[in-house]
């Protein structure tokens, strides 16, 4: 797969194995994870600094705020596309996440093939393919 270095992806995931797996799978699909952080606070900061094209946001994170709150704060500064990746399938949590206006909500476990269409779509619309 040819690299697509121009699409900046921020990964906010506190579990090392999952972070490594996603990073490896995305890279094997031609995308590069520009930065990977483990907490909501770090995610907000990274989003401000990196200005990513896409944020992959876990919900339950280390630190004081969860992924939904981090996404809400990020969206107050910039309408960065966010895909929530979470083991939560509770409707109340899904509704809270939907209120932030994400690009998608993927329930763990999922196939990388379920995630790639969002990146492909963003890459094609941003002309960063």
Q: Which of residues 80-99 bind another protein (CB under 8 A)?
A: 86-90, 93
126 contacts: CB under 8 Å, gap ≥ 6: 7, 53
Site track for another protein across 1-40, x = CB under 8 A: --------------x-xx-xxx-xx--x------------
What number of chain residues touch another protein (CB under 8 A)?
22
How many CA atoms are closer than 13 Å to the CA of 96, on its beta-carbon side?
14
Task: For another protein, give the closer residue by CB, 24 or 78.
Answer: 24
What are the two backbone dihedrals, phi and then psi, of residue 84, each rounded to the nearest 5 degrees? Answer: -75, 135
Least distance between another protein and beta carbon 72 (Å): 20
Cα-trace Rg, the chain: 13
Q: Does 105 bind another protein (CB under 8 A)?
A: no
Could you tell me whether strands 54-57 and 9-12 are parallel, antiparallel, or unpaired per DSSP bridges?
A: parallel
DSSP alpha helices (H): ranges in the chain? Answer: 16-28, 40-50, 67-77, 91-98, 112-126
Least distance between another protein and beta carbon 51 (Å): 28
Least distance between another protein and beta carbon 104 (Å): 15
In three-state secondary structure terms, 126 is: helix
Q: Which residues bind another protein (CB under 8 A)?
A: 15, 17-18, 20-22, 24-25, 28, 60, 86-90, 93, 107-111, 113
């Amino acid at each position: 797969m040819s690299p697509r270095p121009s699409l900046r992806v921020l990964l906010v995931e506190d579990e090392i194995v999952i972070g490594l797996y996603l990073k490896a799978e995305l890279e094997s699909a031609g995308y590069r994870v520009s930065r990977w952080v483990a907490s909501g606070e770090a995610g907000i900061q990274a989003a401000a600094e990196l200005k990513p094209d896409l944020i992959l946001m876990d919900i339950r994170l280390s630190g004081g705020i969860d992924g939904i709150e981090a996404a809400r704060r990020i969206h107050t500064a910039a309408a960065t596309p966010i895909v929530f990746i979470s083991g939560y399938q509770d409707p109340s949590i899904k509704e809270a996440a939907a209120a932030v206006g994400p690009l998608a909500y993927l329930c763990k476990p999922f196939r990388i093939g379920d995630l790639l269409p969002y990146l492909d779509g963003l890459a094609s619309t941003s002309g960063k393919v």
